[in-house]
Amino acid sequence: MGRPIVLQVKDLVTKFYTLDGVVHAVNGVTFDLEEGETLAIVGESGSGKSVTMLSILGLIPSPPGKVEEGEALFFSEDGQGNLLKMSPAELREVRGGQIGFVFQDPMSSLNPILTVGEQIAESMTKHVNMTHEQARSRVLELLSKVGIPDPELRFNNYPHQLSGGMRQRVMIAIAIACSPEIVVADEPTTALDVTVQAQIVDLFKRLRDIMGMAIVWITHDLGVVAGLAERVLVMYGGRVAEIALVDDLYERPLHPYTHGLLGALPRLDSRESKQLASIKGTPPDLMIPLKHCPFAWRCDYAFDRCWEEIPPLITVSVRHQIACFYDMEGGRPRDA
């Protein structure tokens, strides 16, 4: 504790109005992010982890998507603002400037007909009033900062001339070009091979140490998170299931879902080949608005109350919150 808060999200609700019905993608998400902190948002497909961050950045395609409730306060040197209430022009100022982002698929995020250098320079000439000459030398500096060999040569390359790992490095260069307060990384290593993934994770750690920005790392991979994040937020069915400091989450998971997820992971450093502890059933259908815990169907500990109301996020110890009526350590339901 102690570091000032840079982003505060409260009761975020996002829905998609599709022809088949309403998809309840995010159903009341609350969390905050400290300056320079690395927060991982972990969840399976459909858990709402990406939609949460896209909602905050105003990147939800609308229609069909709509951010219905909540606020996302962003604190910067120029004061505070609610990202959800900003005009598109104001939001464009923040995005790519004070908040950078890196997506999973660098090929479809980069413009195929602009050179790498032009794309990185674009964000700076737009956001920080640089001349083209200034931007060019800054781009070369950025390219070597993100570990791209031969910056002079690569400046004039098009995205298709680069490998997947190199493209992701270009995306990272764009994200950090304007020295952002926050970098949002949405599954940045999922499409990459494991040896290249290790390179990119290593790069993020180095950049974080040099530049001190906060990172929101969205992923389904609890392995990568263990070595990178300071705090972890676990999402399920569009809600926060558990949020804790990284050591607490792995050693003392208090939500049955987190507990199950960690048990379902095979570990490279274990010798025995026992059965994996799988979680029965499948994730909830988001078309149906829930009046009870979204995990109740799959939970071994569910009791009456879990089927009657939605568990609120409660604080169980220092910086450790869960949304569950059951006390796993005590082996009984929590007092109502």
Partner 1 sequence: MPEKDVLVRVVELRKFFPITGGLLGRPVGAVKAVDGVSFDIRQGETLGLVGESGCGKSTTGRAVLQLQKPTSGQVFFEDVELTKLSREGLRRLRPKMQMIFQDSYASLNPRHSVGKIIGEPLVIHGLMKGKELEERVAELLKLVGMNPAYMRRFPHEFSGGQRQRIGIARALSLNPRFVVCDEPISALDVSIQAQVVNLLHNLQEQLGLTYLFIAHDLSMVKHISHRIAVMYLGKVMELCDRNALFDDPLHPYTQSLISAVPVPSPKVERVRQRIILRGEVPSPANPPKGCVFSTRCPVAIDECFEIVPEYRQVGARHSVACHLVKPDG
- Contact window for partner 1 (CB under 8 A) among 11-19, 65-73, 122-130, 223-231: 223-231
Q: Which residues from 278-297 bind partner 1, rule CB under 8 A?
A: 278-280, 282-283
Q: Is 73 within 8 Å of 30 (Cβ atoms)? A: no
- Contact window for partner 1 (CB under 8 A) among 62-70, 83-91, 92-100, 267-275: 267-275
State the Cα–Cα distance between residues 101 and 19, nearest whole angstrom.
30
- Contact window for partner 1 (CB under 8 A) among 71-79, 90-98, 188-196, 314-322: 188-196
Can residue 107 be called a binding residue for partner 1 (CB under 8 A)? no
Can residue 318 be called a binding residue for partner 1 (CB under 8 A)? no
Q: Is 123 within 8 Å of 114 (Cβ atoms)? A: no
Q: Which of 153, 210, 211, 276 binds partner 1 (CB under 8 A)?
A: 276
Tell me phi and psi for residue 232, to 5 degrees.
-130, 135
Q: Which of 204, 209, 240 is nearest to 225 (CA)?
A: 204
Tell me phi and psi for residue 22, to 5 degrees.
-90, 125
Alpha helices in 156-306 (DSSP H): 164-176, 194-211, 222-228, 246-251, 256-263
Q: Which residues from 19-78 bind partner 1, rule CB under 8 A?
A: 44-45
Q: Which of 8, 28, 138, 164 binds partner 1 (CB under 8 A)?
A: 164
State the Cα–Cα distance between residues 138 and 141, nearest whole angstrom.
5
CB nearer to partner 1: pick between 91 and 196: 196
**SS3 at position 264:** coil
Can residue 129 be called a binding residue for partner 1 (CB under 8 A)? no
Q: In Å, what is the CA distance from 113 to each residue of 59, 67, 160, 184, 324? A: 23, 33, 9, 25, 50
Can residue 209 be called a binding residue for partner 1 (CB under 8 A)? no
- Contact window for partner 1 (CB under 8 A) among 17-25, 85-93, 215-223, 302-310: 215-223
Please give the residue ranges that form the binding site for partner 1 (CB under 8 A). 44-45, 163-166, 193-199, 201-202, 220-227, 246-247, 250-251, 260-269, 271, 273, 275-280, 282-283, 298
